[in-house]
């Protein structure tokens, strides 16, 4: 491939065979060398478009140039369960180029031989290493920093910077986009005329610069829309006045026909009206107003407006349990249970605000020190809002698994795991199908309030990873949970959905333990912090 080749997708329309409506009609976007960030709400079609760019899906209309078959392209998928096609080749490849990639991403020697047991962050790194190892002309990364901690994110950024071809990265990670990308292609839903359409806006620069341009564009469009609205209102006013004049003239004419020949005043009024009305003129100018008004309304409709979003709080219909403790775990049991999950040593720090409390842990597990005798090693109260953080491999998922097993049996607990796969999708859609109408409408309302599109979900029935996370969260709502245990719920969520979820959790009346690498999110939702190391 020539150095300066640009990949272009022109006027693409695509409909999934099982879906009742097109996912997008007539979208165009181009990808020159360098990194372009692809952004947009969950389920809007980012992954689908990239699969079209790779030649793995055929559009209904439109074309991709150069032909994807003529390029070496590699794709690093969004989900972690997809084993790279070239994993065996990678395992035996000790060439200097591949060694450099291994070093850059910190790939363990045994990783290619145990893909199924890798942690989320490790699997992501190995997928990326395999994608880079084929030296592709086009490298497509679908949400590469989901599941990873700050240190791994730094490594991924370095690896991306070392690549010189056409790079396309789908991401909701502002820090990553700002660090690497020089262009942003943003999927948006716009209300044009009377329908919602998907469009792609392209901006030069990283996320921060793209936002500045997009804000300026929005302001310009809103000023123009207001001007055109005012013009429509003015023309409506003028037309109204002209209509009244035509009616007055007609009334005068009718009156004229009926005037008593001896009523001189009425005769004068009629003649006066004839002289001033230019009645044919009044009707004509009224008719002209119709044309001008139609044109002005068409111009107004032509200015697209961002589709409405829900910005309310999710109705998380949970409640606080009356029990004093929902989970009560002593140090010894916890240590044993963690060890059964393969976590032999861990340290757990607990804080309310900036104040440490409870005990801290030693390398062989948790123990109580200054608070000896003040209660169990771990206890979760009915309204505790706990944010759990810690680097990859520190044992967050294991801790959540252990705690989920030890929830008091009388507590209604909703637990959502980190890994999601095609089976989870099928199960979630089947659960939705089984719900009564009333429950299903509670779920779909909450789905919409999390910035999801229930119509698209119901029409496609194959939730995207972000849609699946939201659906799993919402499916638990009708049971009025008292405790939520969520493992990395913001992975895959678009920026607006993440904000909506943060608002919902903040207002949740019961208790939760939420593990996340997203420092903004953890800080926003929790009153108690647990940090594992």
Binding site for ligand ATP (CB under 6 A): 16, 18-19, 23, 40, 42-48, 78, 456, 460, 462-467, 492, 494
Select the binding partner of residue 482 from ligand ATP, Mg ion, none (C-beta < 5 to 8 A, by kind): none
Select the binding partner of residue 104 from Mg ion, ligand ATP, none (C-beta < 5 to 8 A, by kind): none
By the rule CB under 5 A, 127 interacts with Mg ion: no
Q: Please count the other Cβ atoms lying within 10 Å of the Cβ belonging to residue 429.
A: 18
Select the binding partner of residue 44 from Mg ion, ligand ATP, none (C-beta < 5 to 8 A, by kind): ligand ATP
- % helix / strand / coil in the chain, to the nearest 5? 45, 20, 35
Q: Which is nearer to Mg ion, 122 or 494 (CB)?
A: 494
Shortest approach of ligand ATP to residue 160 CB, angstroms?
Answer: 19
Whether the Cβ atoms of residue 516 and residue 150 lie closer than 8 Å to each other: no
Q: How far apart are the first and last CA of the chain?
A: 46
By the rule CB under 5 A, 47 interacts with Mg ion: yes
* Residue 138: strand, helix, or coil: strand
Q: Which is nearer to ligand ATP, 53 or 386 (CB)?
A: 53
* CA 181 to the chain's CA centroid: 19
Stretch in the footprint of Mg ion (CB under 5 A) among 45-53, 84-92, 414-422, 424-432: 45-53
Shortest approach of Mg ion to residue 50 CB, angstroms?
Answer: 8
CA pair distance 531, 386, nearest whole angstrom: 10
By the rule CB under 5 A, 42 interacts with Mg ion: no
Interstrand relation of 183-192 and 355-356 (parallel, antiparallel or unpaired): unpaired
DSSP state of 394: S
Whether the Cβ atoms of residue 388 and residue 530 lie closer than 8 Å to each other: yes
DSSP output for 291-306: HHHHHHHHHHHHS-EE
Shortest approach of Mg ion to residue 132 CB, angstroms?
Answer: 20
Residue nearest to ligand ATP (CB): 466
Whether the Cβ atoms of residue 326 and residue 380 lie closer than 8 Å to each other: yes
Select the binding partner of residue 358 from ligand ATP, Mg ion, none (C-beta < 5 to 8 A, by kind): none
CA pair distance 424, 430, nearest whole angstrom: 10
* CA 525 to the chain's CA centroid: 18
Shortest approach of Mg ion to residue 78 CB, angstroms?
Answer: 5
Q: Which is nearer to ligand ATP, 201 or 299 (CB)?
A: 201
User: Quick one: tokens of 365?
Assistant: 């597990």
Shortest approach of Mg ion to residue 143 CB, angstroms?
Answer: 7
Q: Which is nearer to Mg ion, 47 or 74 (CB)?
A: 47
Shortest approach of ligand ATP to residue 313 CB, angstroms?
Answer: 22
Strand ranges in 193-244 using DSSP code E only, listed in sequence order: 195-204
Shortest approach of Mg ion to residue 47 CB, angstroms?
Answer: 3
Shortest approach of Mg ion to residue 465 CB, angstroms?
Answer: 6
Q: Which is nearer to ligand ATP, 48 or 398 (CB)?
A: 48
CA pair distance 202, 226, nearest whole angstrom: 25
Residue nearest to Mg ion (CB): 47
Shortest approach of ligand ATP to residue 171 CB, angstroms?
Answer: 10
User: Quick one: tokens of 465?
Assistant: 């990873």
Q: Which is nearer to ligand ATP, 45 or 359 (CB)?
A: 45
Q: Which is nearer to ligand ATP, 43 or 318 (CB)?
A: 43
CA pair distance 300, 303, nearest whole angstrom: 6
For residue 386, is the peptide bond before it cis, meaning its omega torsion is within 30 degrees of 0?
A: no
CA pair distance 112, 87, nearest whole angstrom: 6
Footprint (CB under 5 A) of Mg ion, residues 69-108: 78
Stretch in the footprint of Mg ion (CB under 5 A) among 41-49, 155-163, 312-320, 327-335: 41-49
Q: Which is nearer to ligand ATP, 122 or 467 (CB)?
A: 467
Q: Which is nearer to Mg ion, 47 or 127 (CB)?
A: 47
User: Quick one: tokens of 384?
Assistant: 């505790």
CA pair distance 72, 83, nearest whole angstrom: 19
Shortest approach of ligand ATP to residue 327 CB, angstroms?
Answer: 31
CA pair distance 409, 421, nearest whole angstrom: 28
- Which residues sit at the interface with Mg ion, rule CB under 5 A? 47, 78
């Amino acid at each position: 491939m020539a150095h300066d080749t640009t990949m272009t997708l022109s006027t693409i329309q695509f409909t999934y065979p099982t879906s009742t409506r097109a996912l997008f009609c007539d979208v165009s976007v181009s990808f020159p060398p360098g990194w372009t960030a692809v952004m947009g709400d969950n389920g809007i079609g980012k992954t689908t478009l990239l699969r079209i760019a790779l030649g793995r899906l055929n559009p209904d209309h439109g074309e991709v140039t150069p032909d994807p078959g003529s390029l070496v392209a590699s794709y690093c998928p969004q989900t972690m369960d997809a084993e790279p096609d070239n994993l065996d080749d990678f395992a035996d490849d000790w060439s200097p180029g591949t060694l450099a990639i291994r070093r850059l991403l910190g790939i363990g020697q045994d990783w290619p031989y145990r893909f199924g047991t890798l942690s989320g962050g490790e699997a992501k790194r190995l997928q990326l290493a395999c994608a880079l190892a084929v030296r592709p002309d086009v490298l497509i990364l679908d949400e590469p920093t989901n599941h990873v901690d700050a240190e791994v994110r730094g490594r991924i950024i370095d690896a991306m910077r070392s690549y010189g071809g056409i790079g396309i990265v789908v991401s909701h990670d502002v820090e990553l986009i700002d660090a690497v990308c020089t262009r942003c292609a943003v999927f948006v839903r716009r209300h044009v005329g009377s329908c919602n359409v998907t469009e792609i806006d392209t901006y030069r620069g990283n996320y921060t610069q793209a936002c500045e341009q997009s804000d300026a564009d929005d302001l310009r469009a809103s000023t123009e829309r207001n001007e055109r609205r005012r013009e429509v209102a003015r023309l409506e006013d003028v037309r109204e006045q002209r209509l009244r004049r035509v009616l007055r003239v007609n009334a005068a004419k009718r009156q004229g026909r009926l005037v008593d020949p001896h009523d001189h005043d009425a005769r004068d009024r009629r003649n006066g009206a004839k002289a001033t009305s230019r009645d044919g003129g009044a009707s004509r100018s009224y008719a002209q107003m119709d044309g001008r008004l139609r044109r002005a309304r068409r111009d107004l409709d032509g200015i697209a407006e961002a589709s409405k979003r829900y910005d309310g709080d999710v109705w998380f219909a949970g409640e606080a349990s009356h029990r004093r403790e929902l989970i009560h775990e002593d140090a010894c049991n916890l240590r044993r249970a963690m060890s059964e999950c393969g976590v032999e040593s861990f340290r757990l720090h607990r804080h309310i605000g900036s104040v440490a409390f409870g005990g801290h842990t030693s390398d062989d597990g948790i123990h109580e020190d200054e608070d000896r005798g003040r209660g169990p090693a771990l206890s979760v109260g009915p309204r505790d809002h706990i944010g759990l953080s810690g680097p990859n491999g520190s044992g967050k998922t294991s801790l959540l698994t252990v705690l989920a097993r030890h929830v008091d049996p009388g507590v209604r607990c909703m637990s959502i795991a980190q890994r999601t796969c095609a089976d989870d999708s099928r199960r979630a859609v089947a659960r939705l199908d089984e719900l009564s109408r009333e429950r299903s409408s509670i779920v779909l309302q909450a789905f919409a309030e999390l910035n999801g599109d229930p119509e698209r979900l119901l029409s496609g029935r194959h939730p995207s990873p972000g849609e699946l996370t939201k659906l799993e969260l919402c499916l638990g709502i009708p049971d009025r949970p008292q405790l939520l245990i969520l493992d990395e719920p913001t992975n895959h969520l678009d920026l607006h959905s993440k904000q909506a979820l943060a608002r919902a959790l903040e207002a949740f009346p019961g208790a939760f333990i939420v593990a996340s690498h997203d420092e903004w999110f953890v800080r926003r939702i929790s009153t108690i912090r647990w940090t594992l190391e």
